[in-house]
Structure formats: C-alpha cells, structure tokens
Amino acid sequence: MQPVSYARHQFPAEIIQHAVWLYLCFTLSYRDVKELLAERGIQATYETIRRWVFKFGPAFARNLRRLRPRPASTWHLDEMVVSIQGRRMYLWRAVDSEGEVLDLLVEPRRDKAAAVKLMRKLIKKQECAPTVLVPDKLRSYGAAHRELGLSARHEQGLRQNNRAENSHQPLRRREQKMQNFKSRGSAQRFLSMHAADQNTFYLQRHLNSRPTPRLFRAEAAEAWQQATATF
C-alpha cells in the first residue's frame, strides 16, 4: 500500500478524503462539492478541491486497485467517442464479466495499433491473459488478437458485448457534467481515478437481496479508509 501524506495542508486529512470521494463517486462539479462542504461549515474554494483531486486522486486510485480481487477471465472490449478540445478522440475500455473496469486508453485513432496497445497494457497490468475476449465487430480487435498470439476464445454476437456498452453510461454523465474533457492527458488521468472508485463503490442493488448491498457498502467504505489512510 502506497503511503499518503497530508503534510503542509491547511485542512485535516478527513476533509480532503471526503471531498475527493464526493467528486469521484458522484456526478458533481468542483463547485457542487464546494457547496456541500460549505453547508457543513467548511470553507474551501473550488480550486482547492480541484488541486486535492489531482494530487491525491491518483494515489487513492492506486491503493484501491491493490485492494481489489483478481478480475474475471472474460474481458469485454469496446470503444466510445469523446470530444476533447473540439477533436474526436476514442476512449478504449475493457471490463470483465462482472462489470469491473480493467483499464482504459484515450487514443486519437480507432485502428489496430490502438487495439494492440490496449491489450498489451491490459495483460501487463493484470499480469495474466484472458480466457475469453468479447469485443464489438471492429476488425482491429481480431487483428490485435492475432498479432499478440493470444489463445483466448474470441466471441462476437448480438448483445454479447452489452456489459461493455452499459459501462459507458457513467462516463457519459461525467462528460456532460464536465462539459467535455479539456485535454487527452487530463481525461486519461481523471478516468483512471474514476474507474478505481467506481469498481469499489458500484453496487448492483437490483441483483442482490436487501442486506447484501449493506455488506458490500461497508466493505467498500473500509477499502476507502485503507486506501486513503496515512502511514
């Protein structure tokens, strides 16, 4: 676990942790978080909150990822269009069969090179190869699959990749709230943080009995406390 230091900050660690959690977990702007803190008597500017997110968010995300169990061996791959400074970019994403976001990549092209880059990054980060790959019908995935020599079964079909398609919805809401991403680097950085937080706190309540989400919520809160604690 990577240590997190809050030294030389005016506000206590608990306030910084809460502000970052609010911004990453909910579809809020920096000014929305500012107003929520102000309602509790905490006077922090939106610029201060923005600096907290970009300073502490990546460290929190890395620690959260270390606490996650190994993902399922079925990987769903898909890409979505995002607008950055008026330019069309492609957000390549991979999720497992449970909806866990494995990794993402912001690239200017939708071709074989980008697909190979995503798969290589995935295998290196997960330290394993999938047993089943479920992409959409973009031919770049098949070309990347052959170039890397993967033994995973390659599946395509009607509605088979709905898991990846549905996982785009939270990102679309954030993109609209942020009025589009400002740069390729900031998009990559924010989405990596958002994915780690989503993996921890996203609960499929409609698939569970009533006590189960409470248990999962308590486990997620405990993981957040471990990821953001000082050492």
How high is the pLDDT of residue 231? 58
Reported as a single tens digit per residue, the pLDDT across 115-133 is: 999 999 999 988 888 899 9
What DSSP string runs through 150-177? --SEE---TTTTHHHHHHTHHHHHHHHH
Residue 109's contacts (CB-CB under 8 Å, 6 or more residues apart) are 90
Euclidean distance between CA atoms 137 and 5, whole angstroms: 46
User: Is residue 134 helix, strand or coil?
Assistant: strand
Q: What does the domain layout of the chain look like in residue ranges?
A: 1-67+194-231, 74-182
Homologous superfamily in CATH for domain 74-182: Ribonuclease H-like superfamily/Ribonuclease H (3.30.420.10)
Reported as a single tens digit per residue, the pLDDT across 28-75 is: 999 999 999 999 999 999 999 999 999 999 999 999 998 888 888 899
Reported as a single tens digit per residue, the pLDDT across 140-155 is: 988 998 998 888 888 8
What is the reported pTM?
Answer: 0.85
